[in-house]
Amino acid sequence: MANRSAVLHAVNDLRIEERPIPAAGTGQVLVRVAAVGVCGSDVHYFEHGRIGSHLMRSPMILGHESAGHVVDVGEGVDPARIGQLVALEPGVPDRTCSECLAGRYNLCPNVVFLATPPVDGSMSQFVAFDASFAHVAPEGITAEQAAMAEPVSVAVWANRRGQVGPGDRVLVTGAGPIGNFVAQVARSFGASSVTISDLNPYRLAVARSMGFDARLPGEIEGEFDVAIECSGAAPVVLSSMRSLARAGRMVLVGMGADTAPIDVPVLQARELTVLGVFRYANCYPIALGLISSRKVDVLGVITHRFGLAESVRAMTLAHDEPESLKVVVEPQS
């Protein structure tokens, strides 16, 4: 039986290849993957072959936003799990280091993260995965929705780090999939207002249709308690922090800038806090709950779906098609 996978060989060289179906090892489940979201990092590897110091040295399967059904279990895993729809939390930490023991497993130096060289991703028909990081999806959601637990977890974590809560006025810069989810999660956390900005009119329109105050960057008014930067543009850090009220918090989610200037007198006079975020920890159950309860609408963010054979198209679409948000690959079709 085949295990067709989307394997990146080099820049712009993504091939569908047959790989062996892996066996579920000790503590693992074997998952028949039903949906894999395309993340900006997948596109970045496709276009550049690297992300910062993470350099591809050999062919790598892409994909890390995935969900599917358990079809087998390894030693030590309850066979009753067979049949479950699971969302795969893609970074499995070593559980032993001081970061893990402190509950910050996202900072584990030995984490094994899907589709981060040299680790293969999950854009395959089958993947063997750590059973405790294969989170059971709540009743009533689809695999596609469950796969979105990954970017929604990014959004949950960003909101947690920024301590978003009732009464907060939140600014989200960037209305792509992450920015959109960050805005939705901010609302579910009780934010009293959420403003979202982008240059892309389609993405603004989607955000506006979800009830957000969506604006072009130059049209942002007022002051905010929390700014969550999801665009990756360095100058936005400076302009966003200057829009913060006293005791405001600024969360940097977007990647891209190497350095970014901050306004020191403003940081000091208003006692701002600037927070870096890296992936997420302990967020999957909350993300799945938000998806299941419809507090976060993920279907409204998925704009395109492709079969595995169309993976190349899935990678290029984000850049070619301004009227897009999240793209999902369906390995079984």
Told to check if 55 binds a copy of itself by CB under 8 A, we report: no
Q: What angle separates helix 149-161 from helix 177-188, to the nearest 10 degrees? A: 60
State how far the Cα of 154 lies from the Cα of 251, in Å rounded to an integer.
12
Told to check if 126 binds a copy of itself by CB under 8 A, we report: no
105 or 126, CB closer to a copy of itself? 105
Q: Which residues contact 189 (CB under 8 A, 6 or more apart)?
A: 159, 164, 165
260 or 312, CB closer to a copy of itself? 260
Q: Smallest distance from the beta carbon of 156 to a copy of itself, in angstroms?
A: 7
Q: Could you give the strand order of the β-sheet that contains 60-61, starting from the edge strand earlier in sequence?
A: 13-19, 3-10, 60-61
From the list 16, 21, 128, 262, which residue makes contact with a copy of itself (rule: CB under 8 A)?
Answer: 262
State how far the Cα of 141 lies from the Cα of 137, in Å rounded to an integer.
7
Told to check if 222 binds a copy of itself by CB under 8 A, we report: no
Told to check if 258 binds a copy of itself by CB under 8 A, we report: yes
State how far the Cα of 192 lies from the Cα of 237, in Å rounded to an integer.
22
For every residue of 31-79, DSSP letters joined together read EEEEEEEPPHHHHHHHHHSEETTEE--S-EE---EEEEEEEEE-TTS-G
Told to check if 242 binds a copy of itself by CB under 8 A, we report: no
Told to check if 143 binds a copy of itself by CB under 8 A, we report: no
12 or 192, CB closer to a copy of itself? 192
3-state secondary structure of 102: coil
58 or 268, CB closer to a copy of itself? 268
Query: Can you give the three-state secondary structure of 74-93, one letter per residue?
Result: CCCCCHHHCCCEEEECCEEC
Q: Smallest distance from the beta carbon of 242 to a copy of itself, in angstroms?
A: 11
**Residues 133, 25, 116, 319: what is their CA dihedral angle, to the nearest 10 degrees?**
-70
53 or 58, CB closer to a copy of itself? 53
State how far the Cα of 126 lies from the Cα of 137, in Å rounded to an integer.
18
Q: Do 4 and 125 meet the contact criterion of CB atoms below 8 Å apart?
A: yes
Q: Which span sits near a copy of itself by CB under 8 A: 9-17, 141-149, 220-228, 252-260? A: 252-260
Q: Smallest distance from the beta carbon of 198 to a copy of itself, in angstroms?
A: 20
From the list 274, 298, 314, 315, which residue makes contact with a copy of itself (rule: CB under 8 A)?
Answer: 274
Told to check if 293 binds a copy of itself by CB under 8 A, we report: yes
From the list 12, 98, 110, 333, which residue makes contact with a copy of itself (rule: CB under 8 A)?
Answer: 98
Interaction site with a copy of itself (CB under 8 A): 52, 95-96, 98-107, 109, 132, 156, 161, 165-167, 188-190, 192, 234, 237-238, 246-247, 252, 255, 257-278, 281-282, 285-286, 289-290, 293, 295
